């Protein structure tokens, strides 16, 4: 009887374990490892949110996560200063990857977009949502090297509006962190260049 119960429990837990371990859909060029991508400039976040803290948080977490994957840190202030003085800002207010490569002497340029960043609540339910997409371009050719989009949703339940707001704000940073971590799991680690 105990063995049957253990097997049943394993069968019930298996879909959860597989679902949690699955990688998110992404696109990476087949010869990424041969491209010599070592230095990545993280461009300012394209967004439609009115919350500057979420934008700053996303960019800081991107720089940190890239560092832990073996890519050296390039301070955001240095990047912002260089592109602010650039006369090569193209359509949509973006500087081309090739121009960024020339200005900063980097191998690749990461363009992040914060698509959704919100906290909402009803009577006994609150949700925190963060969704971003990231695209990495070669600074030499302008070719897309890697692209991914991920969304994190945290749900909370409570009996008072104040309690729900507190729970939502407590999971906001972990939601941004999850988006960055899960998305960058799909980016190959920096090679030993």
List, in order, residues 6 or more apart from 136 with CB less than 8 Å away.
37, 40, 108, 109, 110, 111, 144, 145, 146, 147, 187
66-95: pLDDT as tens digits? 999 999 999 999 999 988 866 666 555 678
Residue with tokens 């394993």: 10
pLDDT in tens, 140-192: 999 999 999 999 988 878 777 776 777 767 788 899 999 999 999 999 998 65
Residue ranges per domain, the chain?
27-184
151 with 144: CB under 8 angstroms?
Answer: no
pTM: 0.80
**Conformation bin of residue 101: beta by default, left when phi > 0, alpha when psi is -120 to 50:** alpha
Question: What is d(CA 56, CA 173) in angstroms, rounded to the nearest whole number?
Answer: 11
Domain 27-184 sits in CATH 3.40.50.300: no
Question: pLDDT category, 4, cuts 50, 70, 90?
Answer: low
Average pLDDT value for residue range 128-142:
94
Tens digit of each residue's pLDDT (9 = 90 or more) over 7-51: 544 455 444 443 445 678 999 999 998 888 999 999 999 988 767
Top pLDDT among 97 and 127 is at: 97
Q: Is the pLDDT of residue 1 over 70?
A: no
The vertex-127 CA angle with 121 and 131, nearest 5°, equals 130
């Amino acid at each position: 009887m105990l063995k049957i119960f253990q097997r049943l429990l394993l069968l019930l837990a298996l879909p959860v374990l597989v679902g949690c371990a699955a990688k998110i859909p992404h696109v990476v060029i087949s010869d990424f490892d041969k491209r010599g991508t070592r230095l990545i400039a993280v461009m300012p976040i394209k967004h439609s949110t009115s919350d500057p803290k979420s934008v700053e948080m996303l960019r800081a977490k991107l720089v940190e996560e890239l560092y832990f994957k073996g890519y050296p840190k390039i301070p955001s202030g240095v990047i912002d200063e260089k592109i602010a003085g650039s006369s090569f800002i193209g359509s949509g207010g973006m500087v081309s990857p090739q121009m960024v490569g020339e200005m900063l002497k980097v191998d690749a340029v990461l363009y992040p977009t914060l698509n959704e960043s919100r906290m909402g609540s009803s009577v006994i339910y609150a949700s925190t949502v963060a969704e971003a997409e990231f695209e990495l371009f070669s600074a030499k050719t302008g070719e897309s090297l890697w692209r991914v989009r991920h969304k994190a949703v945290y749900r909370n339940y409570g009996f008072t509006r104040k309690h729900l707001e507190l729970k939502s704000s407590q999971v906001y940073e972990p939601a941004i962190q999850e988006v960055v971590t899960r998305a960058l799991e799909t980016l190959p680690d920096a090679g030993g260049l």
